[in-house]
Structure 1
């Protein structure tokens, strides 16, 4: 079982995914904002209003998270390629709801950046609120999981020791396609991979996380109450473009995909954003 937030004929809805069809859930318009696991299970399925997935625009599963917390350096392979020491505490940074894109939306290259990079990631969606959550109880607060590409403007990221200006560009971060409940997937050995123009550029499995999902939830909830719909990006494996030799950055016309076994895949085309009147010089 999986759930999707989608737009059909100008109307936003949440549906249960059945094969290639979406069954709308009556009274549910966002997988955040109090959509507890039991509410999703008990919602009425409007079978008569079902619609094929390929006839809708898939949106980010959660439309208005109160918080998006992201983890850097959470795979050994990525720590190694950055030539840093293994962290003893999660490296955390934030994004905003305005950063999110749908799973098939175009990634726009801003004219200000020449180093636009990819980062395939697992995302945790919170379903039950909590503060100072114990690791032993952490998974009880998870509504489900989804896939993301933490698109990063490296030349802006490394302007300072803080990463916000490279990570939080509006309409830059694809997420989706579905939200999959915890009981529907075994994350222990699920593979994660990123494919750029048909070439695999990242590959690992989720057992390789340095800080586990329960540990991340416990750590973050120490200083901030987690609320339904909040998102935790869990970090990216090695293979990012910035650390390759030669470096690889996204260019106009590229196709980038991120897939996690059991969760689905993002498929995004890359285009130049010319709305500001500037020109794009993609990195190489």
Structure 2
């Protein structure tokens, strides 16, 4: 992994590009240092000389990657497994011994402030705040003790789920793979204490403590996840692994503002809209 770096993908006047994120103590603002090159490849990247405030006119943060695929882990925290069973949304009362893996297509990915579209065919949309791993190198049959060598960094993800469809369809394709179901951002943090990262969530400006948690409580660690997934699927640079939601998962409705916050990364904000 690269050390001490934040990598963003943004558009300025509708032109997408990558940037390093730097904080300026003088005005206490974050700035995008535009790059010439692609940070997820082996090529050298260098600043172009462009500098934009993250909140500047004409600037829009995009999803930090366009993955070839997104994998997620189900029931990877004891507290979430218990919550789902107690609320009647699952008949699994104990975390499974083997990882439960599902996938989202790349078309599910959206960026910060992009709308989450509530489909007309569902009546129960839920949030799931999580830490996402961004793969930085081609990974196949990676041993667990080498797994972090294949990681570029981490970002926030909201594993938006249509709970009513999930209960009726055990394959989960529609319930978790629909368009806009994978908000990612705000950027990639390359230097995160990934084994002890606090996760929190707010809804319409109010903290939801029952949705919070910490990656220290993961059942299957991030290195375990990379090793297992790469044993059956080749991971490519930019691919995403959603590591699991820590505790409770609640309902979303049109006009709701959902914010995932991970200490050491930042906040990912999205608003729900009707289809």
TM-score normalised by the chain length of structure 2: 0.89
Within a 5 Å distance, the mapping from 1:202-217 to structure 2 comes to: 202-217=211-226
Pick aligned residue for 1:77 from 65, 76, 79: 79
Unaligned runs of 5+ in 1: 242-248, 274-284
Question: Which residue matches 1:276?
Answer: none
Unaligned runs of 5+ in 2: 24-29, 86-92
Question: Which residue matches 2:252?
Answer: 250
Question: Which residue matches 1:279?
Answer: none
Counterpart-to-counterpart distance in 2, 1:26 and 1:91 = 39
Question: Which residue matches 2:198?
Answer: 191
Quote how far apart the aligned CAs of 1:239 are.
1.2
Higher strand share: 2
Within a 5 Å distance, the mapping from 1:10-159 to structure 2 comes to: 10-19=14-23, 20-28=30-38, 34-36=40-42, 39=43, 42-47=44-49, 49-55=50-56, 56-63=59-66, 65-83=67-85, 84-159=93-168
Quote how far apart the aligned CAs of 1:160 are.
2.1
1:260 paired to 2:262: yes
* 8 Å contact kept, 2:115–2:180: no
Quote how far apart the aligned CAs of 1:197 are.
1.7
TM-score normalised by the chain length of structure 1: 0.86
1:140-173, CA deviations, whole angstroms, 9 ceiling, x for partnerless residues?
A: 0001100000111111111122211100001222
* 8 Å contact kept, 2:68–2:239: yes
1:2 paired to 2:6: yes
Q: Number of residues paired by the alignment?
A: 254
Counterpart-to-counterpart distance in 2, 1:233 and 1:226 = 13
Question: Which residue matches 1:280?
Answer: none
Counterpart-to-counterpart distance in 1, 2:41 and 2:34 = 14
Counterpart-to-counterpart distance in 2, 1:51 and 1:250 = 33
Quote how far apart the aligned CAs of 1:265 are.
0.7
Counterpart-to-counterpart distance in 2, 1:155 and 1:86 = 21
C-alpha RMSD of matched pairs (Å): 1.3
